[in-house]
Amino acid sequence: MTNQLQDLIKEYNGLTKRRKQFLEVISLMYWDLQTKAPRGATDERSETIGTMYTEVFKELISDKSEALLNRLLEKENFDQLTKVLQLSVTNDKKELDRYKKIPPERYGAYKALTAKAQTIWAEAKEKNDFLLFQPYLEEIVAFQQEFIELRGYNGHKYNTLLDDYEPGMTTETLDAIFAYIKEKTISLLRKIETSAHEPKVDILHKSYDAKRQEELSLRMLRDMGYDFDRGRLDISAHPFTIKINTGDVRITTRYEEQLLSSALFSSIHEGGHGLYEQNIDPALRETSLSEAASTGVHESQSRYWENILGRSQAFWKYFGPIVREIFPENLQGASNEALYYAVNKIQPSFIRVEADEITYNLHIILRYELEKDLINGVITVADLPRLWNEKMETYLGIKPDQDSQGVLQDVHWSDGMFGYFPTYSLGNIYAAQFTKKLREGIPDYEELIEKGNFKPILDWLKENIHRHGAMMQPEALLEKVTGEGINPQYFIEYIEEKYADIYQLAFDQAEDFT
Amino acid sequence: MTNQLQDLIKEYNGLTKRRKQFLEVISLMYWDLQTKAPRGATDERSETIGTMYTEVFKELISDKSEALLNRLLEKENFDQLTKVLQLSVTNDKKELDRYKKIPPERYGAYKALTAKAQTIWAEAKEKNDFLLFQPYLEEIVAFQQEFIELRGYNGHKYNTLLDDYEPGMTTETLDAIFAYIKEKTISLLRKIETSAHEPKVDILHKSYDAKRQEELSLRMLRDMGYDFDRGRLDISAHPFTIKINTGDVRITTRYEEQLLSSALFSSIHEGGHGLYEQNIDPALRETSLSEAASTGVHESQSRYWENILGRSQAFWKYFGPIVREIFPENLQGASNEALYYAVNKIQPSFIRVEADEITYNLHIILRYELEKDLINGVITVADLPRLWNEKMETYLGIKPDQDSQGVLQDVHWSDGMFGYFPTYSLGNIYAAQFTKKLREGIPDYEELIEKGNFKPILDWLKENIHRHGAMMQPEALLEKVTGEGINPQYFIEYIEEKYADIYQLAFDQAEDFT
C-alpha cells in the first residue's frame, strides 16, 4: 500500500471518528431531554442540537468528504482496502449522494424544530391537546415533503422515507405483505372473538409498586445479558434505546402502577434493542458499519425478546416464581400458566405499545396508510385526529375519545420519523423467520428458557445477527441466516399456532404467502 | 449605526452563541460522566470532550475571531456599541490574547486527559491508591507548566493560574491575607481547645436514611428559591454546580447515612452557587458576561448560604422543626439550640468539604502552598502524599493514614484546576464583607430567617451581586457593594464573635488588617 493511500485512509478514519463524536454529543443531548433535563433547558438545547446536526451534516456533504470518498472509490485504491473499509466507504458515498441536495441550514433548522417539537408533543399529550402540537407537525411534514423533492424518489414518494430505515424496502412490497397480514389477522381475530375461552387478566391490574417493578425489569435485563457497565435504565414518556457511544447504550422504560406487564415488556423490548447495539463487532467501531442492518432488523431483536421469548409458556415457567417473589401480596395464588395466559390476552385497544401480538400490526397498518397519504398531500395534519379515529373503528372496532389515547400517543412524528412505523411489523415478520432457524440451531431451546439460561440464545443472535452490524442489508442478512427473503408466512404460522392453543381454536394449515 | 457595523455585531453574536453551544455540550457531557454515565462510556466520551474543546478553542483563537474583535475594538466602532457589548468584546479580546499561544491540539489533548483523569481519580480515591492517579496528575502538572511558559506570567508563575479564576488576584496579595488569616485562626483554635464548653454532635451521627435526606435537601433548596424548572439535584462523588445552559443550572450532592449535616450543607452550598447562575441578568445571555464575576465571588454566594445563613442561630429556629419532622425517631428530643451547636462544632478533621468554618481556611492554605511549589517545580507529584500529611499535622495537628482521606480527597487537580483552591477562602472573606452590607440593607434580617422567609435576602443578592454577572471584576464589585476592597477583618470578626458565644470565649476587638 502506498503512503498516499495510507494517508487517505487515515484522513477517512479521522472524519468518520469526528462524525461519530458529534453524533455522540447529539445522542446524549437527546437522551437528557427525554429523561433528565428540566423544562427550562429545552429552548437553548433544541437550538444547540440543531447546530450540532448542521455541523455533522456540513461535513458529511462537504467537498472535502466527497473528494476523499471519490479517491478511495477509485478502483486501484478500492481494491486494496479491507472488506470492512470497502463497505464503509460505499455506505458513506450512498449517504452523501442522498443528502447532498439538502442545504445544511435547512437540515439544521429541521433538526432544531424536531428537538423542540418533541417536548411540545409531550406537553400536548399530557394535556390531551392536539392543537398545541399541530403547527409543529405541519412544519415537520412540510420539511419532509421539501426534502423528498430535493432528494428525489423512485415510484412512490414514500419509498424515499422507507429506504432511510429499511434499505431496499418499497411501498409496493409492503402493500402486498400488509394485505396478507391484514387478511390473516382479521380472520384470526374473528375466531378469537367467538372463542368460549378467554385468558383472565385481573392479576395484572392490581397495584404494582414502581420501585419493585424497576427491580423486576433490572432482574430480567441482567438475565438477558444486557451489560449495565455499558448501559443504564431510566424512565421516559416513551421507552427508547439509544447508543451514545459503543460503550454506552442506554434504554428507558415507564412504570404504570396499575399494570404489571407494561414496564416489564417495555424493558424487555428495549433490552432486545440494547443487546443488538452492545454486541456489534468492536472491529467495526471506527467505521460507519457499527450500526444495525436496518430498523426492521433492530425491531426483530426487540420483538423476539419481548414476544416470542417473553410471552412464551417456557419463559413463564422460569419467570413466574420470580414475579411471585417480588410481588407476593398480589400474586401468591397465580400459577405460571395463569401468568402466561394473562400476558397473552388478545384485546383490541388504543395504545400501540401495549397492543397484543395480533392486533399490533393493525396499529401499524393504520399509521402506514396515514403517513403515505400525508406525504402525498392527500390529507393534511388537521385531518389526522378524525382519520385516526375512523380507522381505529374500522380495523379494531374501537374509537378513542381522547387524542392522547389516539393520534398523540407516539413520539415518532414529533421527531420527523416518517417511514419508521412499518419497520415494527417488519420486525415481527423477521423475528418469526429468525426464530425458526434459532430453534433448529438450539435443540434444547425450550428447556434452556425454562431454566432462565438465555446465554446460548444470545450467543446465537450475536453470532448470526448482532456482530455483523451494517455489513449486510436486511434482505442479504435474511438470506444468509434463513436461506430465503422476507416471508410473512412464518409470523402468521407462529400466531395461529400459539393462539389456537390459548383460545382453543381449530385451524387449517396456513396458506403460502405468494 | 452603519450596516457594516451591524453586520460585524451580528457576526460577533453568532460566534459567541456558537461558542456557548459547544460549552453547553461539554458541560452536559461532564455532568453526565460525573452523575449518570456507565463505566463503559468513559474512554470514547473523554476523547469526544477533547474534540469539542479543541473546536471551541480553535474558534476562540482563530484569525477570523481576532480580526472581528479588532474591528469592533476600533474606536469609531467601539464607541457605538452598547456598554454590555463593549465589555463583552473587551473580555473576549483578553481571553483571546491569553490563549493564543497554546496550540489547539495541545489544549484538546489536555482536555481529553483531564476528562479521563477525573474518572481515574474517582477510582483511585475509592481504592485508596494514589499511584493509580499519579501518572495522570504528573501529565496534568506538566501541561500546566508548559501552558504558563507559553502564556507568560507577571511575578510569580502561579499568578497566571490565579488570574484564571480570580481576575486581578496575585500571590503577593494572597500571601499577606493568608498570613493574617492563619495567625488569627490558629490563635482562635488555641482558645477553643482550652474552652470548657464543647457542642455535642452525637445527634448528627445517627442513621439518616438517604431518601429522607434528599427530601430535606429539596425542601431547603425550594425555600432558598432555587428554581427546579431550570435545574435539578443529583448525586455525585464530589458535589458541584454546573450551568448547562441559562435555563438549566444543575447541582449535585452526596448522602452519608451516618452524618446528617454532610448532604444538607453540601446541598445548601451548591444551591448558593445555583442561585447565582440562575439569576444573572437574562439580557447578558448572548454575551460572554453571563458568567459569575469570579470563582471567589461565586464561592461567596455558596458560603453565605451554607455558613453565614445555614449555620446561624436564627436559621435553626426555623429549620429545627423541619428536620425533626423528617427524622422524628432520631431527633425528637433535639432542641433548635442543640442542632445549632452541633453543626458548629470546631474540630480539626481530614476532609475539607466537611471542615468547620474556622479550620476550613487552613485546608486551603495547605493546598495553596503545595500548588505554588508544584507549579514552580520545587516539589514533584510523587512528593504530594507525604507533604500533605506533614502539613496536616503541622497546621491541624492530625495526620490522615489513608490518601483517600488526604491528598486524594478533592476532584480539582484531576480537572487541572490549579489556582482554584484559594478562591474558597476568598469566598469566605467576601461573604463576610457582603453580609455586613446585607444586614444593613435588611433591618429585620434575623426575624426573616427565623420565619424561613429568605426572599428579601435573595432579592438583595440578586440586585447587588447576581444580576451583574461578569460586568464587574471582583475588586470593582466589592467596592461598589461595600465601599472598600478585599478585607479579611470582617471574616475574622464574624468567626470570633460567633464562636466566642458558642465556646464562651473572651476576646479583644479584632485588630485591623493592614
Which pLDDT score, from 0 to 100, does residue A250 have? 98
- On whether any CB of chain B is under 8 Å from the CB of A123, the answer is no
Contact across the interface for A24 and B48, Cβ inside 8 Å? yes
Instruction: For an interface test with A, give the residue of B16, B32, B218, B221 to mutate (most A CBs within 10 A).
Output: B32
Which pLDDT score, from 0 to 100, does residue B511 have? 61
Contact across the interface for B244 and A41, Cβ inside 8 Å? yes
Helix, strand and coil in chain A, % to nearest 5? 70, 5, 30
Contact across the interface for A41 and B228, Cβ inside 8 Å? no
Contact across the interface for A52 and B248, Cβ inside 8 Å? no
Closest by CA to A452, choosing from A316, A281, A325, is: A316
Could you tell me how many helices (H) and strands (E) chain B has, helices first? 22, 3
Residues A437, B248: Cα–Cα separation, whole Å:
50
Q: In a 3-state reduction of DSSP, which class is residue B504?
A: coil
Task: Express each pLDDT in B110-145 by its tens digit.
Answer: 989 998 999 899 999 999 999 999 999 999 999 999
Contact across the interface for A228 and B44, Cβ inside 8 Å? no
Annotation says B66 is catalytic: no
Residues A292, A275: Cα–Cα separation, whole Å:
11
String of DSSP letters for A215-227: HHHHHHHHHHT--
Task: Express each pLDDT in B321-334 by its tens digit.
Answer: 999 999 999 998 89
- Cα dist. A32→A276, B43, B165, B248, B274 in Å? 22, 20, 29, 11, 19
Set of cell numbers at residue A15: 472524519
- Which of A51, A229, A245 faces B18 most closely, judged by CB atoms? A51
- Which of A29, A41, A230 faces B40 most closely, judged by CB atoms? A230
CA distance B211 to chain A (A): 13
Strand partners, B233: B251
Residue B252 — left, alpha, or beta (φ > 0 → left; ψ -120 to 50 → alpha)? beta
Please tell me which residue in A126, A138, A215, A270 is annotated as part of the active site. A270
Which pLDDT score, from 0 to 100, does residue B508 have? 63
DSSP A417: -
Contact across the interface for B231 and A47, Cβ inside 8 Å? no
Contact across the interface for A32 and B37, Cβ inside 8 Å? no
Comparing alpha-carbon positions, the chain A residue that sits nearest to B39 is A229
Which pLDDT score, from 0 to 100, does residue B286 have? 84
Closest by CA to B321, choosing from B451, B456, B454, B457, is: B451
Comparing alpha-carbon positions, the chain B residue that sits nearest to A50 is B21
Q: What strand order describes the sheet that includes A241-245?
A: A233-235, A248-253, A241-245
Task: Express each pLDDT in B452-505 by its tens digit.
Answer: 999 999 999 999 999 999 999 999 999 999 999 999 999 999 999 999 999 999
- Which of A44, A48, A245 faces B44 most closely, judged by CB atoms? A245
Contact across the interface for B25 and A37, Cβ inside 8 Å? no
Contact across the interface for A42 and B18, Cβ inside 8 Å? no
Mean pLDDT computed over every residue of chain B: 95
CA distance B359 to chain A (A): 37
Nearby residues of B163 by Cβ (< 8 Å), 6 or more positions away: B169, B170, B419
Torsion angle of C-alpha atoms B185, B191, B193, B199, degrees rounded to 10: -90
Look up cell 412544519; give the residue.
A139
Contact across the interface for B44 and A246, Cβ inside 8 Å? yes
Which pLDDT score, from 0 to 100, does residue B410 have? 93
- On whether any CB of chain B is under 8 Å from the CB of A282, the answer is no
Closest by CA to B383, choosing from B157, B134, B145, B140, is: B134
- Cα dist. A509→A181, A490, A513 in Å? 15, 12, 12
What is the enclosing helix (H) or strand (E) of A248? Answer: strand A248-253
Residues B495, B293: Cα–Cα separation, whole Å:
25
Comparing alpha-carbon positions, the chain A residue that sits nearest to B228 is A38
Nearby residues of B3 by Cβ (< 8 Å), 6 or more positions away: none
Residues A22, A29: Cα–Cα separation, whole Å:
11
Instruction: For an interface test with A, give the residue of B22, B35, B36, B53 to mutate (most A CBs within 10 A).
Output: B36
Which pLDDT score, from 0 to 100, does residue A344 have? 97
Per-residue pLDDT of chain A (514 residues; tens, 9 = 90+): 889 999 999 999 999 999 999 999 999 999 999 999 999 999 999 999 999 989 998 888 899 999 999 999 999 999 999 999 999 999 999 889 888 889 888 988 998 999 899 989 999 999 999 999 999 999 999 999 999 999 999 999 999 999 999 999 999 999 999 999 999 999 999 899 999 889 999 999 999 999 999 999 999 999 999 999 999 999 998 899 999 999 999 999 999 999 999 999 999 999 999 999 999 999 998 899 999 999 999 999 999 999 999 999 999 999 999 999 999 999 988 999 999 999 999 999 999 988 999 999 999 999 999 999 999 899 999 999 999 999 999 899 899 999 999 999 999 999 999 999 999 999 999 999 999 999 999 999 999 999 999 999 999 999 999 999 999 999 999 999 999 999 999 999 999 999 999 999 976 655 667 6
Helices (H), B207-350: 210-224, 260-278, 295-303, 313-326, 328-331, 336-342
Residues A100, A113: Cα–Cα separation, whole Å:
20
Radius of gyration of chain A (CA): 23
Burial of B67 (0-12, 13-18, 19+ CB in 10 A): exposed
Could you tell me how many helices (H) and strands (E) chain A has, helices first? 22, 3
Nearby residues of B329 by Cβ (< 8 Å), 6 or more positions away: none
Q: In a 3-state reduction of DSSP, which class is residue B233?
A: strand
- On whether any CB of chain A is under 8 Å from the CB of B230, the answer is yes
Residues A282, B120: Cα–Cα separation, whole Å:
23
Residues A368, B318: Cα–Cα separation, whole Å:
61
Q: Name residue A23's amino acid.
A: L
Burial of B3 (0-12, 13-18, 19+ CB in 10 A): exposed
DSSP A381: G
Q: In a 3-state reduction of DSSP, which class is residue A344?
A: coil
Which pLDDT score, from 0 to 100, does residue A179 have? 94
- On whether any CB of chain A is under 8 Å from the CB of B58, the answer is no
- On whether any CB of chain A is under 8 Å from the CB of B64, the answer is no
Residues B313, B335: Cα–Cα separation, whole Å:
12
Contacts across the A-B interface (CB distance below 8 Å): 100
Closest by CA to A289, choosing from A57, A493, A88, is: A88
Residues A470, A479: Cα–Cα separation, whole Å:
15
Torsion angle of C-alpha atoms A77, A82, A85, A86, degrees rounded to 10: 60
Residues A204, A354: Cα–Cα separation, whole Å:
13
Half-sphere exposure of residue A100, counting CA atoms within 13 Å on the CB side?
13
pTM: 0.89
- On whether any CB of chain B is under 8 Å from the CB of A274, the answer is no
State the CB neighbour count (10 A cutoff) for residue A35: 17
Which pLDDT score, from 0 to 100, does residue B512 have? 67
CA distance B423 to chain A (A): 29
Set of cell numbers at residue A335: 400459577
Closest by CA to A144, choosing from A345, A415, A344, A391, is: A415
Residues B381, B385: Cα–Cα separation, whole Å:
8
Which pLDDT score, from 0 to 100, does residue A101 have? 87
- On whether any CB of chain B is under 8 Å from the CB of A244, the answer is yes
Contact across the interface for B18 and A247, Cβ inside 8 Å? no
Please tell me which residue in B95, B198, B256, B270 is annotated as part of the active site. B270
- On whether any CB of chain A is under 8 Å from the CB of B245, the answer is yes
- On whether any CB of chain A is under 8 Å from the CB of B43, the answer is yes
Residues A164, A477: Cα–Cα separation, whole Å:
17
- Which of A25, A45, A229 faces B245 most closely, judged by CB atoms? A45
- Name residues of chain B where pLDDT drops below 50: none
Set of cell numbers at residue A441: 440451531
Instruction: For an interface test with B, give the residue of A52, A228, A244 to mutate (most B CBs within 10 A).
Output: A244
- On whether any CB of chain B is under 8 Å from the CB of A27, the answer is no
Contact across the interface for B24 and A48, Cβ inside 8 Å? yes
CB A500 within 8 A of CB A494: no
- φ, ψ of residue A499 to 5 degrees: the values are -85, -20
